[in-house]
């Protein structure tokens, strides 16, 4: 029987030499694989109160939208700077070389709402941490972080757990 991991392709030396890129587009393209991933992402949260699912740009939109649909809740896109049309708040986070900024609409969540954060891959945890900070600044409570792939060697799970987050990943790959 296939697992989610079996649907993920590895591309060597992308985007840079020495990187093993975990490509989830092959998972998304397969109807059984995609359904399996969505079902497994939301399984630990079934029966919990979740008011919104927040997806991190860009593959987190694909997964988060499907998870929100299955949970019958709203979806919140957390986008790169300059992509949202209404009033936003922003959060900078460190990249390997430099910084990036994520934004969310100021009316995306209400104080006290419970949010599930979703993305395809957990590496260093910087992007997810920025998403968590945005939700918390708007008064929401992040009840968990769900990912398809965890790269444990890069420390993201430890980073998010250090923030008190529950982290759920469907599979893990060694290396970068």
Is residue 174 among the annotated active site residues?
no
pTM recorded for the entire structure: 0.96
Quick one: pLDDT at residue 176? 66
Largest CA distance in the chain: 47
**Catalytic entry in 9, 22, 59, 129:** 59
- Asked if residue 24 lies in contact with residue 120, where contact means CB atoms within 8 angstroms, the answer is yes
Is residue 96 among the annotated active site residues?
yes
Tokens of 127: 């992007």
User: In terms of residue numbers, what domain contains 131?
Assistant: 4-172
CATH number at residue 145: 3.40.50.2020
Quick one: pLDDT at residue 81? 97
- Counting the structural domains of the chain, the total is 1
- Asked if residue 54 lies in contact with residue 117, where contact means CB atoms within 8 angstroms, the answer is yes
Question: Could you read off the pLDDT of 119-162 as tens digits, one per residue?
Answer: 999 999 999 999 999 999 999 999 999 999 999 999 999 999 99
Residues of the chain with pLDDT under 70: 176
Quick one: pLDDT at residue 69? 97
**Catalytic entry in 57, 91, 96, 129:** 96
- Asked if residue 8 lies in contact with residue 21, where contact means CB atoms within 8 angstroms, the answer is no
């Amino acid at each position: 029987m296939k697992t989610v991991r079996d649907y993920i392709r590895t591309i060597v030396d992308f985007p840079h030499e020495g990187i093993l890129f975990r490509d989830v587009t092959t998972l998304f393209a397969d109807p059984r694989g995609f359904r399996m991933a969505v079902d497994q992402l939301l399984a630990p949260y079934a029966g919990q109160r979740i008011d919104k699912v927040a997806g991190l740009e860009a593959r987190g939109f694909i997964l988060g939208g499907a998870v929100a649909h299955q949970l019958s809740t709203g979806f919140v896109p957390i986008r790169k700077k300059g992509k949202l049309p209404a009033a936003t708040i922003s959060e900078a986070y460190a990249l390997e070389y430099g910084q990036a900024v994520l934004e969310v609409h100021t009316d995306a969540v209400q104080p006290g709402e419970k949010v599930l954060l979703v993305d395809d891959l957990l590496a260093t945890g910087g992007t997810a941490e920025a998403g968590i900070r945005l939700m918390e600044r708007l008064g929401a409570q992040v009840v968990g972080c769900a990912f398809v792939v965890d790269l444990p060697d890069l420390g993201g799970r430890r980073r998010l757990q250090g923030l008190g987050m529950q982290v759920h990943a469907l599979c893990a790959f060694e290396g970068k």
